[in-house]
Amino acid sequence: MDPMTEAAAALLYALAWTAARLPWPVLRALADAMAWLSRASNGREARVARRNLELVRPDLAPAAREALLREILRTTSRQAFETLRLWTRPAARNLADIAELHGEALFGAALADGRGLIVAAPHMGNWELLNQWLAAKTPLAILYRPPESAAGEAFLRRVRANAGGQVEQVRAEAAGVRTLLKRLQRGGVVGILPDQQPRVGDGAFAPFFGREALTMTLLGRLAARSGARVLFAWCERLPGTGSPRFALHVAEAPDGIADPDPTRAVAALNAGVEAIARRDFAQYQWTYKRYKYRPPASGETNPYKPAP
């Protein structure tokens, strides 16, 4: 690694470590202040989340959507500070924040059957804590999309190595996909964030909260070619005013997720993610431009662009 990049990543880690040492009530207050500022200034996250609510919750009155927006922004900000703590504390300490486990036997059975396992982990609750739980259970490869900054990527590799266990971080590119397939064919475990929007040409459209969304076909292709099982998993934040506590869930994927027809596979994938997001709407990542790309010949335009 370039020495300057390594130094920048080390500085980012030092800043994250320092911030994470603050007591949780202080971090929560900072997070809530950031959420308030984002909404008051109509910042990017507030604009995107508000637009998503207009698209997927037209049933709500404007005042109700604004109330839900406030909760989404608070949750998103708190999750960011939670993650700083997860990234800079020992994994064993972080795992103590999991107060409930649901589906652990299902996960153990999937590991034992030797067919390979794909863990689909939507952007729900705190997926970084889920990564650390998975790493404590089994060696795995995690697919990730690298940030534009080399220092940012080096920082992510450093903090995710804190998960303990054997975690291989695989870039979302052609060589990385081959790595994942080989691991699955050997009976290994792969973790994928299934609701990241792919590049045009690398996905198919399927309904997500009643609107067509460009969705990755990679997960379905890997499952079909390898014969691996697919499970959904997520860490859902539990209610309470103290230090964050979580319920970790593992569940079967919907039928059809490995269908050779990519349209059916992505429809099943989105149905699974949507069912999880509906459990607690505010814990899902609504600050992401999920509907940026529109189906060809639909006549629709990017809904996040300001009207002319």
CA-based torsion, 100, 81, 234, 169: positive or negative: negative
Sketch the domain layout of the chain as residue ranges: 3-283
Strand order in the sheet with 246-252: 98-102, 246-252, 229-237, 117-120, 189-192, 140-144, 167-171
What DSSP designation does 281 have?
A: G
Give dist(CA 206, CA 183) in Å, integer.
28
Give dist(CA 87, CA 237) in Å, integer.
17
Q: What is the identity of the amino acid at 220?
A: G
Question: What are the tokens at 223?
Answer: 């499952």
Tell me the HSE value of 302 on the side-chain side, using a 13 A CA sphere: 8
Sequential pLDDT tens for the chain (308 residues): 678 888 898 899 999 999 999 999 999 999 999 999 999 999 999 999 999 999 999 999 999 999 999 999 999 999 999 999 999 999 999 999 999 999 999 999 999 998 999 999 999 999 999 999 999 999 999 888 877 788 888 888 888 876 666 788 888 788 888 999 999 999 999 999 999 888 878 899 999 999 999 999 999 999 999 999 999 999 999 998 789 999 999 999 999 999 999 999 999 999 999 999 999 999 999 999 999 999 998 999 999 998 76
Q: Which helix (H) or strand (E) holds 11?
A: helix 3-20
pTM: 0.93
What residues are paired with 120 via a beta bridge? 192, 232
What DSSP designation does 207 have?
A: E
Backbone angles phi, psi at 91, to 5 degrees: -60, -40
